[in-house]
Structure 1
Amino acid sequence: MLDIDGIRLLQTSPGFAEAVERAYGRRRRPRCLCRPEGIEMYIARLADGHIVKRMPGTGDRHAPACTSFEPPAELSGVRPLLGSAIREDPETGLIQLKLGFPMSRRPGRPGPARPASATGTVSSSCNRLSLRALLHYLWDQAELTRWQPGFAGRRSWGVVRRQLMRAASRMVTCGEPLLVRLEVPEPFTVEQQDAISARRRTRWVAASCPGDGKGSMLLLVAEVKEIAPGRHGYKAVIKHLPDLAFTLDEALYNRLERRFEQELGLWGASDGSHLIVIATFGVGAEGLPRVVELSLMTVTEHWLPVETVAEKQLLDRLVRNRRSFTKLLRYGMRHEGEMPILVLTDQGETTQPVFAEEVDHPCSDPAGTARGA
């Protein structure tokens, strides 16, 4: 429930969109009524309308069952990045991102052919986002780390793409909207193959020609079908892009096998898992995409990120027991820094962080099966 300019409305209420638009024009701030005192929100303008967002740094003040709830930043790896690599402006609704990897190459100067490092290439001052950290931020902002029983059976790649694109629509980097460079493949259908391919070619041509003498690169976020040797060199085959493969040079292929052994192993061990890639890539004169730098993330069948078999088993158990929770992400934080795996959000007015040692302890029951459905 929101208080919009003195009127109480649900997002499903008739006239909600119109009330939000009027409040935006009058520069009025809505209040979320998940708490008796109300919590101030702000309205961001999107290409397809307006959206009510929580004010920066207030997510943990909302009730755990509220859609605007967010675990305290201190529990995940995002905290050191806020205010430096990530800056949200409640006046405009835009989020400024500083990237720790290049998005352009000068003619004749090849880009780095390496996967993201173990720390995600975040600099020591935490003022830049690595590929891994950017992927985690997109996943968080798209609310793909959140789970509740009603989501079961409703997350397809089409839903994942829509939420990622909507989250990215408020982000700006390198002086332009992130969406200009972002490629998240459309769900593929044979009937729409030609139209989908034409739209993709148009996006790639526009994004690859900045007119400043540099070779502009694009950013891919997609599900991997296969990474393997090709007829010449190596290739990454992407789901929903059946008509072309992304090429990798031998050095990058060999390094990613070593660097992402854990992610690849976890993906291969479960038929229901998905492997997500985030990569910078350039498009050659022949129209073929070539990967420059990449990072990988394993997710469950419900698109929830996991790093170990124990994490996956825990999340699967929570889903079966109809629990609600938010998965926490490292954003490149080293594994030496202990942090919770997730926060349970179905405990009434309180939340419960769950740590790795609780999962591994033989006498513990972090899934809380006694409090299930």
Structure 2
Amino acid sequence: MDSAGRRAAYLVGGRRLEAGSLEFAEAIAAAHAAHQRPRCLCLVGGIEMYVARLAGAGSGHIVKRMPDTGSHHAPDCPSYEPPPEVSGLGQVLGSAISEDPATGETTLKLDFAMSRITGRSTVPTGGGESDSVASSGTKLSLRGLLHYLWDQAELTRWHPGFTGKRTWATVRKHLLQAAENKIARGDSLRSRLFIPEVFAVDQRDPINARRMSQWSQAIASPGKPQHLMLLIAEVKEIVPARYGFNAVVKHVPDQAFTLDEQLYRRLGRRFEPALALWGAADDIHMVMIATFSVAAAGIPTIVELSLMPVTRQWLPVEDAFEKQLVERLVGDGRSFIKGLRYNLGAASALACATLTDCEGSAPLLFIVPAGVEDDGRYLQVSDPSAPVWLWRPTAEAMPPIPRVAGRPRAAGSATRAEAAAAGP
């Protein structure tokens, strides 16, 4: 999707083909029809993949990694992903997220409603949304679903070649692609997902017509449960209105999303750290995921929501320390994958980033929260061969980052793992 740098090569039908080559699309279509499995050639011997058919207009085929094999690929391979146990993905994979290579469909179990009878609005209090309780991984919270789609859209990946190219149009395109072939509560996730298209004044009428056509499925019918839509958008402001409060999102200038006072008050308490970061840093975007209903008059009302701050590169960050690390990596021209928490509580160990431009194994970068005395769990959550970098921001300046493959290391810049191995 959002690719740059190394181009993947596959063994398809006995031929070595690079992704994007003229013969590639035809070859993987033939492999899909013949139920053949391509092999990714990032490592000697190759790694088995499968071909999925994309639905919708302009449908085609895509090569995807087999479930639970992302960490088996070379770190600089587009199919590589960090070991599941160092992110929130490990908790929900196989339970809340079930991928079927035979059909190319992924079934998602959600812990929030996609239909309703009453008019009650809520901020999530379980399913990973509470910072004080480690949640079950059997269902995805709203935040967990947003993190999953962000991962699937490859918006957690960064390469220097992406600089200046990741716009809202790019984000939207990749999120919609990521939602294809995803089933939630027996229905297509893509059909319920509304992501505002880039607004243009001269296209106002057709844009509004497309929006209302999609929203029509969420207008209540007498005697039937009301379907809810799923919104992913950048928040512009959340402000008092004549009645209740309005959430104004970018690229929808002529239609605010209403929310009641109870939801607004709980929003301020639950997401205080995220809102504080958003308010303190002008270069932070605030992404909202929400379920919403639509009144007969066409007015959308938010039922449940979650917030996710992201950098100007649309890379998610939880706090100022993560922002500092991500900005350092981007500024240094590094390639990496940003880790996401999914349903995990704030106390759980999480690799903030995984470097994909180093020699050998991909280094895992951890930020140790204040008050954590024993950092042993950060060294034990992953493959022992993977280098681990630790930063305790409340006690020290940021340590040197592991070097890029082939780039000389400055004097005194040993990684934390190397320093520990060398002894006092």
TM-score range, shorter chain: over 0.9
Pairing 1:311–2:322 present: yes
Cα distance, 1:29–1:155 mapped onto 2, change above 3 Å: same
The letter for the 2-side match of 1:50 is: H
Pairing 1:8–2:16 present: yes
What CA deviation, in whole Å up to 9, does each residue of 1:137-174 have, x standing for no partner? 01011111110111111100000000000000121111
**TM-score scaled by structure 2?**
0.84
Cα distance, 1:145–1:212 mapped onto 2, change above 3 Å: farther
Structure 2 residue matching 1:242: 3-state secondary structure = coil
Cα distance, 1:263–1:30 mapped onto 2, change above 3 Å: same
Aligned to 1:100: 111
Aligned to 1:64: 75
Cα distance, 1:371–1:236 mapped onto 2, change above 3 Å: farther
Give 1:210 shift: 8.2
**CA–CA separation in structure 2 for the residues paired with 1:272 and 1:2:** 39
Aligned to 1:343: 354
Give 1:269 shift: 1.5
**CA–CA separation in structure 1 for the residues paired with 2:280 and 2:104:** 41
Pairing 1:203–2:211 present: no
Pairing 1:289–2:324 present: no
Pairing 1:24–2:32 present: yes
What CA deviation, in whole Å up to 9, does each residue of 1:35-80 have, x standing for no partner? 0110000001112211100000000011111100010100001112
Structure 2 residue matching 1:79: 3-state secondary structure = helix
Pairing 1:35–2:43 present: yes
What CA deviation, in whole Å up to 9, does each residue of 1:193-230 have, x standing for no partner? 11111001001113546898111111101100001111
1:305, 1:327 within 8 Å by CA — same for their partners in 2?
yes
1:210, 1:216 within 8 Å by CA — same for their partners in 2?
no
Structure 1 residue matching 2:400: 3-state secondary structure = coil
Give 1:362 shift: 2.4
Larger Rg: 2
Aligned to 2:63: 52
**CA–CA separation in structure 1 for the residues paired with 2:116 and 2:134:** 21
Pairing 1:156–2:191 present: no
Give 1:298 shift: 0.1
Unaligned runs of 5+ in 1: none
Q: How many percent of aligned residue pairs carry the same amino acid?
A: 51
1:120, 1:331 within 8 Å by CA — same for their partners in 2?
no
Unaligned runs of 5+ in 2: 1-8, 369-389, 410-424
1:208, 1:218 within 8 Å by CA — same for their partners in 2?
no
The partner residue of 1:362 within 384, 397, 413 is 397
Give 1:337 shift: 1.6
Where do 1:202-351 residues align within 5 Å? 202-208=213-219, 213-351=224-362
Pairing 1:166–2:177 present: yes
2:52, 2:62 within 8 Å by CA — same for their partners in 1?
yes
2:105, 2:182 within 8 Å by CA — same for their partners in 1?
yes
Structure 2 residue matching 1:347: 3-state secondary structure = coil
Aligned to 2:150: 139
**CA–CA separation in structure 1 for the residues paired with 2:27 and 2:294:** 44
Aligned to 1:114: 123
The letter for the 1-side match of 2:68 is: G
Cα distance, 1:363–1:297 mapped onto 2, change above 3 Å: closer
**TM-score scaled by structure 1?**
0.95
The letter for the 2-side match of 1:327 is: K
Give 1:22 shift: 0.8
Instruction: Output the aligned Cα RMSD.
Output: 1.9
Cα distance, 1:98–1:91 mapped onto 2, change above 3 Å: same
Give 1:115 shift: 4.1
**CA–CA separation in structure 2 for the residues paired with 1:191 and 1:81:** 44
Structure 1 residue matching 2:231: 3-state secondary structure = strand
**CA–CA separation in structure 1 for the residues paired with 2:107 and 2:15:** 32
What CA deviation, in whole Å up to 9, does each residue of 1:1-20 have, x standing for no partner? 11111111111211211111
Give 1:116 shift: 4.7
The letter for the 1-side match of 2:401 is: P
The count of aligned residue pairs is 370
What CA deviation, in whole Å up to 9, does each residue of 1:157-192 have, x standing for no partner? 000000000000121111111011111111111111
